[in-house]
Amino acid sequence: MKARNVLLPALVTGALIFAGASFAQDTTGQAPPPPQNTMPSAPAPTQTPPPDVTVRSVPPAAPQIATPPPFNQLAGNSKWITEEQAAAYPPLANDFLNASHDGKRVSKTQYEAWVKQIQ
């Protein structure tokens, strides 16, 4: 086989690649003009300055807790306050597990310690 038969396809391929790259980089053409608006134009809106906004954030007032009743009043003259008896004083009912140390009842000592904790 002759050398020119081998080089001819390589040269043609290179020329085609070079020509494609040249066309892709051609920037001599002008961009098309923007489309014309056929709708009647409205007057341009005037720009107004943004309004002044003041945000004031205040935390809500702390809830007022009534004075805890005496232990005997909640316990019904027994040695313990049960969960049902604690319902008479909502703060204790809400915090019963903490006051009872995850138990089923609250002793007088536990109740007094819990009252000191909430005050």
Amino acid residing at 15: A
In the numeric block, which tokens belong to residue 53?
């906004």
Q: What is the pLDDT of residue 118?
A: 85
105: which DSSP letter? Answer: E
The model's pTM = 0.48
Residues 81 and 71 sit within 8 Å (Cβ to Cβ):
yes
Can you spell out the DSSP letters for 56-95? ---PPPPPPPPPPPPHHHHHTSSSEEEHHHHTTSHHHHHT
In eight-state DSSP terms, residue 52 is: P
Per-block average pLDDT, block size 10, for the chain (119 residues)? 70 78 61 66 76 87 86 92 93 92 92 91
pLDDT of residue 39: 64
What is the pLDDT at residue 4?
63
**Nearest one of 77, 76, 111, 79 to 92, comparing CA atoms:** 111
Q: Given this model, what pLDDT does residue 64 score? A: 82
Rounded to 5°, the CA angle 67-91-115 comes to 55
pLDDT at 93: 93
Nearest to 71 by CA among 106, 95, 99, 96: 106
Residue 50 has a pLDDT of 87
